Structure 1
Amino acid sequence: MQSLPKTLAEDVAKNLVMVARLIDEDPESAYGYSRVALRLASRVAAVREAAGFAAYANQKYAEALAEFRAARRMTGTVELWPLMADCERGLGRPEKALDMAGAPEVQKLDKAGQVEMRLVAAGARRDMGQLDAAIVTLQSSELASNSVQPWTARLRYAYADALHAAGRSGEAREWFAKAVEADRDGSTDASDRLAELDGVEFVDALDEGEADDTANADDKD
């Protein structure tokens, strides 16, 4: 944003900060801030990228794809390629996402980006009803590795979920357990899925308390 006047740059930066703060907990508000930043500085790549993320978080996939494409044209980088492919999935075009998974741009991605592309490709296979192909797509050295990386929990979870969808419950349980081991920040619900497979039922303490209150009230009557 060095090309912007100082005051304008500060206003844009404030809106981008709010997008980053709110995108996980309040994506709708984050989207609103991104639109303000876009009106102020649509020729700044960081603004177009932030607008893309905000639109993506709100499932506005056509808009997100347009913003990601604009950011990519401005920067020439391929980092957004997996997200662009996932937008194609969101728009009901899994075949296009698979085409992008086989494009030369994928080889230019870092390891995290390549794993993300693998997740998107597997999702596209599932969209097309190709469960076995989705399972094979996720089988990789990253999945087999015992080291825990930022993508490990999501990769193991996706594999477990695909196995479960294919009726391979025993294997699914094993991989949900492995996902739990890697999920240090609770980014997935692997622990809940594992408990579900084990037949464990969770009772909401609040609901249980309300039920007791109701029973007591009935007794008084």
Structure 2
Amino acid sequence: MPIPEDVTGDEIDKDVRQELQSLPKTLADDVARNLVMVARLLDEDPEGAYGYSRVALRLASRVAAVREAAGFAAYASQKYSEALAEFRAAKRMTGNVDLWPVMADCERGLGRPEKALDMAGAPEVHKLDKAGQVEMRLVAAGARRDIGQLDAAIVTLQSPELAANSVQPWTARLRYAYADALLAAGRESEAREWFAKAVEADRDGSTDASDRLAELDGVEFVDAMVEDEDDEAPAPPKANEAAVENEAAVENEAPVENEVDVERENDVKSENDKD
């Protein structure tokens, strides 16, 4: 797959670059450039990112960072079985449990929420950092909702992280998930409160909390282009223009008819005078 000339491979994380040092330099550079493209396209063009990840995987399948990148590209493309296999491979190579929550979410994607809940209670969760534990809580709550346990999903999300006033990278998503679960359970007033709190924490627009809040408040958004079209004065009907033209024509023709009548009268007078 073509890679833009401005992509050098130096853009990747230094830890990933260090992993690639086990490869010949030319190969390492090629892999790095493909990984840069994966990161660049992951959010807006998952299928494109997936394509570059497959190239990197063919070049360096024994590098954990490559397996992880391939996993995230497959995950973003909703290829959950493939993503899970890549995440498991990366975990085996590194012994790191950081991927545990997204692996559990793959189980949800494969229609196995019970398996995701089993993973939420596994010893690996205790080895996760705070961000990982919050992520695991979000996945577990989603799994509860998958099997229709709305109240249990709400309880799962109730945590010190949810109640904290400080804003962390996970705060907006946690509050949003809680508001959404409350709304699904019919607790609309509480849901509105938590959507509002999610808006306060969502500094980079990672959720659509503001839209959900506006929807609950009954606010309707009107397309500006539609408004502009409505404001334009309609053109006068062509029928009216034709009528005006006809009227003008009649007015212009009237004097001509009068001139003919005058000429006839003059002719008659001339004949009488001869007599």
Normalising by the smaller structure, the TM-score range is over 0.9
Q: Does 1:19 align with 2:38?
A: yes
What is the aligned-residue RMSD (CA, Å)? 1.2
SS at match of 2:23: coil
Of stretches 23-32 and 166-175 in structure 1, the one that deviates more from structure 2 is 23-32
Structure 1 runs (4+) greater than 2 angstroms displaced: 206-213
List aligned pairs for 1:32-47, cutoff 5 A: 32-47=51-66
Q: Does 1:159 align with 2:178?
A: yes
TM-score (norm 1): 0.96
- 2:97 pairs, out of 43, 64, 78, with 78
Question: Separation in 1 of the partners of 2:75 and 2:98?
Answer: 15
Question: Separation in 1 of the partners of 2:220 and 2:36?
Answer: 40
List aligned pairs for 1:123-142, cutoff 5 A: 123-142=142-161
Q: Does 1:120 align with 2:133?
A: no
Flag structure 2 segments of 5+ consecutive residues without an equivalent: 1-19, 239-275
The Cα shift of 1:2 comes to 1.4
- 2:234 pairs, out of 213, 216, 219, with 216
SS at match of 2:21: coil
Map Cα deviations across residues 32-78 of structure 1 (whole Å, 9 max, x no partner): 10000001111100000000000000000000000000000000000
Question: Separation in 1 of the partners of 2:231 and 2:21?
Answer: 62
Q: Amino acid of the residue matched to residue 118 of structure 1?
A: R
Higher relative contact order (CA 8 A, sep 6+): 1
Flag structure 1 segments of 5+ consecutive residues without an equivalent: none
TM-score (norm 2): 0.78
Question: Separation in 2 of the partners of 1:87 and 1:212?
Answer: 50
The Cα shift of 1:207 comes to 3.1
Question: Separation in 2 of the partners of 1:22 and 1:206?
Answer: 30
Q: Amino acid of the residue matched to residue 216 of structure 1?
A: P
- 1:202 pairs, out of 221, 227, 240, with 221
- 2:191 pairs, out of 172, 175, 178, with 172
- 2:75 pairs, out of 56, 68, 83, with 56
- 2:128 pairs, out of 109, 113, 117, with 109
Q: Match of 2:250? A: none
The Cα shift of 1:211 comes to 4.9
Q: Match of 2:201? A: 182
Q: Match of 2:248? A: none
The Cα shift of 1:17 comes to 0.4
Q: Amino acid of the residue matched to residue 215 of structure 2?
A: E
Question: Separation in 2 of the partners of 1:146 and 1:209?
Answer: 43
SS at match of 1:146: coil
Q: Match of 1:10? A: 29
Q: Amino acid of the residue matched to residue 162 of structure 1?
A: A
